[in-house]
Structures are given as C-alpha cells and as structure tokens.
Structure 1
Amino acid sequence: MSKIDVHDVQLVETVTTTSDEKPLAAVDIRVPLPSELIHLSLEEQDILEKHIVKKMDRRLMPIIIVMFWLNILDRNSIANAKIAGLPKDLNMNNAQYNTCLLIFYVGYVLTQLPSNAILPMVRPSIYIPLVTCAWGLMSMAQGFLHNFQSIMVVRFFIGVLEGPFFPGVIFLLSCWYKKEELVKRIAFLYAGNILSSCFGGLIAAGIIGGMEGVGGYAAWRWLFIIEGLVTVAVGILAMFLFPDYPRTTRWLTKEEGLFAEWRLANEVAGIVDEDSSGIWWGVSQALRDPLTYLFTFMQMMLTTGQSFTYFLPSIIKTLGYNNTITLLLTAPPYAVAFLGSVALAYSSSKRKEFCMHICFPLIISVIGNILAMTVNGTGGRYFAIFLMAFGVYVVYNVNYAWVSSSIPRPRAKRAASLAIINLMSGGATHFYTSYLFPDSDAPRYYMGGSALTVAVFFCAMTAITIRFYLARLNKKIEAAGGDAEAALRANKGHTETMKAFKYQL
C-alpha cells in the first residue's frame, strides 16, 4: 500500500507476517518520481531497478575492471623489471631505483584533486579513456630508455597520467550505484588490483624468461613495451564502451536514465546528485568534514601496509631462486588474497557491516609481518608473505566501499573527498614507503617489516574510531525526527540528509 503525505513524499507501507509474530509495519520513504515516471507502480519500479542494475553490471563493470587491472600492472611492472636487469642496464644504484618509485607518486599526487574537481564538468566516456591511452604510451616509452635521468622523467609523467584514473572511477561508480551496492562492485574492481599483482608476476615470468635478446632488446624492455601496448589498445576500445552519467549515457533509455538518477536521489531523501556551487565549493565542503580526515588516515595506513608489493620480487629473490621462479612465486600469495577479498566483500555486503570486516583480517597481516622478520627457513618465510598479503589486500575493497558509501551527495563534495583520500593514501604515502625496503636490509628487512606492522595496527584502530563516530552521527539522525518532514527539513541549504541517509558501521 502507498500514500502521499502532506510534504509530497511517497510513504510505502510494507507488512511482513510470520507464524509466531503479529504483523509488523515499516515505512519506506520515497521521494516523488519525475513526471515521466509517475505512471510506474511500486512493483514496476522494483522490476525496472533490477533491470537497470543488471544492465549497469554488464556494461559498466567489465571495462572498468580491465582498465584498473592495467593501471596497476603498468605501475608495478618496474618491480619485476628490477630483478631482470633494469638497474644494471641503466647504471642505477638502489637509492636511484627507490627514487624512481617515489617520483611516480609525485606526479600521481599532482593530478588527483584537480582531475576529480573537473570530472563532474566533463564527459568521463572521453576523458578517462584518453588518459588511459596516454599512460599506456608513456609506459611503452620505458622500454626505450638508457639512463637514470630519462626514466625519472618518464616515471613522473606516468604518475601524472595515472593519477586521475582510480579516484575518477570510484567517483563515477558512486554516481551509478547505491551505497549498499557499492561494496560488491568495488570488491570486483579492487579484485583487478589483486589479480594484476598475481598475473603480473606470471606475465613477467613469461616475457623475461622467453624474450631476452629478441630484436636486440633486453627482456625487461619487452615487458614495458608489451604491457603498454595492451593498455593503449584497451583505452581506444574504452572510448566506445565507457559511460557518462545515468541521464546522459547512450545505452540507457530515457526512462532508464531518469529512474537510475532518481533511485540515488531517493536513497538520500531527494538530494539531486548535482549542484551549482562550483568546484571549489565541493573542495571546501570536503575539507570541513571530519570523515575526510579519518578515512584519509585509515587509507594511508592500509596503503603503507601494502607497500611491500613494490619490493616483493626482491624479497622473494632472497629465498634463493632464479628470476623466473622468483616471479612465479609472487603469484600464489595474491591468488589467495583474491579469494579472501571476494569472500570478505560478500560477507560485508550481506551483513551491512564494515568495521569488524576490516579489523580482523588486519590481525593476520600483523602476524605475517612479525613472522617475516623472525622465522627461519624458506617455507616459514614464504608462508609469512601469504599472511602479510592476505590481511591488507582482502580488506582494501571493504575499506574503500566504506569510504565511498559514507561520503554522501552532492556530487562536487563527493568527488573532492574521494580525490583527497586517494591523493594522500595512493600518492603521498609512497613518499616514504619507497624507501622502506633497501637492499641493505635484506633478507629480513627489519625497517620495512616494523613500519608495516605499526601501520596496520593504526589502520585497525582508526576503523574502530570511525565506527564510534558514525554511530554517534546515526544517533543524531534519529534524534532529528522519525518522519518525512524531518528528512526534508535536513535537505535545505546544502546540508546533508539526516533521516534517509544512515551510515553503515
């Protein structure tokens, strides 16, 4: 049964009955449909929503996952090239190699916030594929360099071009999916990261093991050339597949686009996912929100906990294996982490809970880091790598889903918040993590292991802090009133919705 209250908000009354209990009534607040959709019954709305979500999953997610997979592959390929002779051929010492890791993130940081600030004003279907082609070309260029200075310049520009991708894609997904839907989608997206790390080692093993001297080039040069060429090809394909926003995407009908936009507005009591206050208004609103700072610190600590990945081939090399076996051995820890990430994301989505799904796996990573610094024997040290990777990688998708679902509309604020969080965690964090695993610390890497242990612990503590903070906000929401009038009242003047947007813990 449905009715319209005095504030023109549709109240949907649902009744459930069990054999042992009396009927219970619950009220679901729905904002008015656009005039073009007013003819739809509640049942027709539910059917249309399921159809739209399925279409989004088919058309939106596959190309984004592939592009993200290549984003991580191109970024991390230098770690595989290192053990195949890159430093020797370019006359680089260990400090210069670490500086090459660092300079990438200098460029990465510079473009994140400006890019996300302008993204709501441009067409993502053109902008993001063009950026992808550009970083693919720069990745290919690494295969033709001959000294430290040239690779420094190219790595900087790869960072500049890769920087807009991840925060831009997270922002775009939040323009399409409701907050409870984001968890699974970001899980599948971040699975691209884990699989990229997994298959990156396997691909490198094949290229480095079989293409040495082909065409007069060292195998590590072919690694950059081939992976960059694939990225350019996918970027060109993405121009025909990548979406814009629900109302302007060509593979949705007018009715589907309007409904896709309405269902997101309905989730937050009618806040339309756009505003006319300008780019820098969104930045200023993001900087005023304590959640921006809490999530930024938590994400920075988690990224620090993952920073061993840029040195993993070198770490495994200390176990005594040749280059090909070393690269093959980088894959299994990521494969196990991938399976764990899917299971954890499913559990988090089903239970609608984030905090404990983050904290418990992180304990495993703490144990793994401690074991890596203390145990003897090849088997024990390799097992420790599994534990190190498992905890920090399985929680990442849940962590970012929590971030994305906790930053509500309007669009400019959400874009700025996500850019700031990724700028600091995905960029600035690497200003120090690039130097945590010097070759002189092999094989135990006490400095890196200790730093990662502390960072993972702080990440868990911050998650608990955020949980208590959001719980307090939810109490304020309840105190604001339990009817549609209170929800509408909270929407005035660029304020966030109070009743219809309830934070998940």
Structure 2
Amino acid sequence: MAGQKGTGSDHVEYTANKDATDQVVGRMPTFLLAMTEEERELMEKKLVRKIDARLLIMLVVMYILNYLDRNNIASAKLAGLDKDLNLKGNQYQTCVSILFVGYLLMQVPSNMILNKFGKPSIYLPGCMFAWVYNFCRHCCYEKLWRAFSLSIHSRPGCLYLLTAWYTRKEVGKRTALFYCGSLISGAFSGLIAAGITHGLAGARGIAAWRWLFIIEGALTVFVALLSMFIIPDLPRTTSWLTEEEKELAAWRLEADIGEDDWVDSEHQSMFHGAKLAFTDYKTWLLLGAIYGLTSAGAVTTFFPIVMAGLGKSTVETLLLTTPPYLIGAILVMINAWHADKTGERYLHIALPPIVAIVAFIIALSNTSFAGQYVAMCLMIGGIYAGYVVCLGYISNILPRPATKRAAALALINCLSNVCQIYTPYLYPDSASPRFVAAFSHNLALCAMTIFFATIIRIVLGRLNKQLDEEEGTNIGPSRAQENENEEHGLPGQAVVRGFRFLL
C-alpha cells in the first residue's frame, strides 16, 4: 500500500516510515490483523475486481451512451435537423450553447447532494434518465433549445464515485477508461449515424435525425434503469458487499491518504467542503490547466461539421469521424497507464497538448484532404490524453475531506465548461474548412494548459519539501491542527502519516 521513500524518485505517494505504518495498522480492521500480508493483498485484489466489474464497466457504458446522446446534435445537423427546424443564422449554435447553462448551474450542488446522502446508485442513473427523457420529448415537439436548457449532467458525480473506491495509484487508469467512453462513443456515433441516415431516412414518415434521438434515447433509458441495480454506492453504504468487504474498502482508502474518506451522511458538511475547495489555491491552478483542454476539446462537439469541410458526402463524413476517436482512445490509455506506472504527472499532462498544438498548426496551414485528416487524427488524442490525467490529478491534490474533493471536482468541471457557452460560435459553416478562429483559439488554450501545469509542478514540489522538513513529528495532530492543514490544502493528518503530492 505504501510507496518507498529514498528511492531517488520525486513521485512519492506514501512514506512508509515506522510511525506512519504503526498508526495505519492500528486502525486496521481486526479480521485483517489476523491475515498474512499475502492474504490481505489477495482479498484486496478480489475486492477491486468486484468493484471494477460493477462500477467501472457500468460507468463506461453509461458515459458512452451519454456522449452518444449529447453529440448527436452535430450528426443530426448533417442529417437535416437545421433545415427541418428552420434554424436561421446562429440559432443552431445557440441550441448547443444553451445545453451548458443547466450543466454549469447544477455541477457543484449536484455533487454536494451526492456526497451528502451517499446513494450514487440512485442519483446518477436518475440524472441520466431525466436528461434523456426531457431531451427526446422536446425534440419531438421541435423545441430543441428547451431540451438542452433542462439538462443535468452527472459526470463530476461519476468522477467522485471513482475516487471514493480507488486509491491514488488506481484511479488514473480507471479515469482514463471512463473517459475513453466518450471517445469510443465518438467513434461509434459516426458509424451509427451513418447507418441511420442511410437506412432510416423517412422511415414511417420520420426524419433520419429524429430516428437518431429515438433509437439512442431509448437505449439510454434502458441502461439508466438497469444501472440502478448494478452500480455500488459508497464503501460504507453498498448493500451487496459483505461487512468485511465494506471495512476493507474503507480502510484501504484511509491507508492511502491517512484519513477516513466517508463515514455517513451526518459527517458530510456540504458547505464546509465547498468552502475548503473555494479557498484552496490549488483548485484554481487545476482549473487553469483543465480549462485549456476543455475549451480546445469542444472541437469534438462539432467534429462531424469540421469533417464535412473535407468535401466528402454525408455518409462518408460520418464514417471518417471514427478513426480519429479510436486513435485518441489508444493515446489516452497509453498515457494514463504510463502515468500510473511511473507515478509521474507533470509530463503526462504537459506533453500531449504539444501534439494537439502541432495538429492545429497543420489544420490551419494545410487545406489538402490528407493534411487536414492527419491533423484531425492527432488533435483528439493530443487534447484528451493530458486532460484525463489532469482530471485524475484533482483527487491526488485535493483528496480529503471527501466533501472538499466532491466540491472541487464539481467546481473545476463546472467552470472549465464555461467555454462551452461561447465555443459553438467559433464553428459556423462559413468558417469551413480551416476554422481559423476556432483552431487558433484551441492552439492558444493548449499552451495555457502547459503553463498552468508547470506552475502546479513548481508549487507541489515546494509543498513536498515543506512536508519533508516537518516529517519526524510523531505527535498526532490536534483537531485544530488538522483543520489548519486542510485550510492550507493538505489532508488533515498529512504531516504525521507521510503523505506526499504526486509530481
């Protein structure tokens, strides 16, 4: 469970000094004390596999469907949505922009509610079901913008749930798998849209773009209802775990950070957690890094429209969107896997945006099909490979208390998506095929991510040196000292338990 210090690596997660180890063991459940280390590791592996099978797989499926539904707007436009609804001027861009009004308003309170009551198995599928129901119902009545304004998105809740089950060493790869759901959905979205556009246009008197919403919306509703019986709640509130498994799940997280994560709803102060997240300067540095990639990543919402500038037919355009997403998913997984294996974070966040910058430069300077398509194949992987590692970094840098982590995940996700309100206006049809304003903007925002990632690396390096200097204090902190540590962005018992930030 504990990383070793003094190996020459700067990427220390947990200092295995004797005092820290003794204190963690002192909190170990009784049944674990009677086991050998090999038996404990075997039980932990079985628990992680059990959670992977139910939580991780289900979240990936939910996220694939979520993005299929949300990104259908671009495919629907190619299938004639704007013409059928008689959208003029910037009305289409406004429809897309309004989606994020509800998105932004609901992020922080949504995660606070989720953390307070500890029932994600009900809350997350409920959000998924409600969004699709409203979206499809209003689309059928040709009031697309109303459907978007009613949206409630639960992505930060899914991220919070991952960090409530997995240690810092485990969460990176799983966050990457989760986000690969969005990339896989982008790949399948083009294939599905091509099939529906080609085969169901006008079937039963219904336009092809309406069939997109009907078919994929029905599948999403089914999965949302099914997931209520599969997704776990929090380690202490999941009914299908044995009592021993609950204790192990809670203890392993405590051993990872040095503090308990979530006890019950009475111990979850929503406002205190939000205050800690707002007042920790590291929250805002992370926001700067993530905002750049979120803003550049808005290109995926309009990917079929950007692809249409290559001059191919509607069906060919939709099919051409698949390879860039698959390449992106592969790059995301490789980068996240290597980040977890090495324990390094800065380079895994800062290097991928350089690939994206090169891709945008190619797209801006080249109008040939080959050049533009190569750029498209590089930009998604370049953006999302660093983005996913940076998202996982939130729970590494702001791990405790749980209410703070929940608030930080929601706050950063919320504010980083402010860009989604204005970015639709960077992709008008008249800007095709080079989209100079959009690609120039994306290039600059990728550079912004590199800048903030560098600042974070410097700041955390200094904090780790501060913790090194304070190590050796064997007296347990008072509650007042724990509160002071939290106010300064450290887990409450970090000093005596050997916590170090990943760099």
| TM-score of the two chains, using structure 2 as the length reference | 0.91
C-alpha change, 1:180 and 1:484, in structure 2 (3 Å) is farther
Moved more, 448-457 or 264-273: 264-273
1:330 and 2:328 correspond: no
| Higher RCO (CA < 8 A, seq sep 6+) | 2
1:293 and 2:284 correspond: yes
CA distance in structure 1 between the aligned counterparts of 2:164 and 2:367, rounded to whole angstroms: 50
CA distance in structure 2 between the aligned counterparts of 1:488 and 1:50, rounded to whole angstroms: 34
CA distance in structure 1 between the aligned counterparts of 2:442 and 2:306, rounded to whole angstroms: 15
CA distance in structure 1 between the aligned counterparts of 2:260 and 2:156, rounded to whole angstroms: 22
Structure 1: 5+ residue runs without aligned partners? 1-9, 17-24
Give the letter for the 2:177 counterpart.
F
Q: Which residue of the partner structure matches residue 179 of structure 1?
A: 168
1:73 and 2:68 correspond: yes
Contact 1:116 1:167 in 2 (8 A): yes
C-alpha change, 1:13 and 1:348, in structure 2 (3 Å) is closer
Q: Tell me the matched-pair count.
A: 480
Matches within 5 A, 1:108-127: 108-122=103-117, 123-127=119-123
CA distance in structure 2 between the aligned counterparts of 1:367 and 1:486, rounded to whole angstroms: 51
Q: Which residue of the partner structure matches residue 467 of structure 1?
A: 457
C-alpha change, 1:333 and 1:272, in structure 2 (3 Å) is closer
Shift of 1:486: 6.1
CA distance in structure 1 between the aligned counterparts of 2:139 and 2:229, rounded to whole angstroms: 29
CA distance in structure 2 between the aligned counterparts of 1:353 and 1:119, rounded to whole angstroms: 31
Q: Deviations over 1:27-67 (max 9, x none)?
A: 46224213454433433322222221121111211111101
1:493 aligned counterpart, secondary structure: helix
Aligned counterpart for 1:145 among listed residues 141, 145, 161: 141
Q: Which residue of the partner structure matches residue 154 of structure 1?
A: 147
Shift of 1:476: 1.2
CA distance in structure 2 between the aligned counterparts of 1:317 and 1:239, rounded to whole angstroms: 39
Moved more, 219-228 or 357-366: 357-366
Matches within 5 A, 1:65-104: 65-104=60-99
Q: Which residue of the partner structure matches residue 128 of structure 1?
A: 124
Matches within 5 A, 1:372-383: 372-383=363-374
Moved more, 490-499 or 136-145: 490-499
Contact 1:142 1:221 in 2 (8 A): no
Give the letter for the 2:67 counterpart.
I
Shift of 1:442: 1.8
Contact 1:191 1:338 in 2 (8 A): yes
CA distance in structure 1 between the aligned counterparts of 2:373 and 2:380, rounded to whole angstroms: 11
Contact 1:480 1:486 in 2 (8 A): no
1:409 and 2:400 correspond: yes
1:408 aligned counterpart, secondary structure: coil
Report sequence identity in percent. 39
Give the letter for the 1:155 counterpart.
F
Q: Which residue of the partner structure matches residue 34 of structure 2?
A: 39
Give the letter for the 2:454 counterpart.
I
Moved more, 137-146 or 204-213: 137-146
CA distance in structure 2 between the aligned counterparts of 1:110 and 1:208, rounded to whole angstroms: 34
Contact 2:251 2:260 in 1 (8 A): no
2:399 aligned counterpart, secondary structure: coil
Aligned counterpart for 1:477 among listed residues 467, 477, 490: 467
Q: Deviations over 1:437-470 (max 9, x none)?
A: 1222222111101100000011111111111111
Q: Deviations over 1:271-316 (max 9, x none)?
A: 4435736211111111110111011121111011111112221111
C-alpha change, 1:277 and 1:68, in structure 2 (3 Å) is closer
Structure 2: 5+ residue runs without aligned partners? 8-15
Shift of 1:136: 2.0
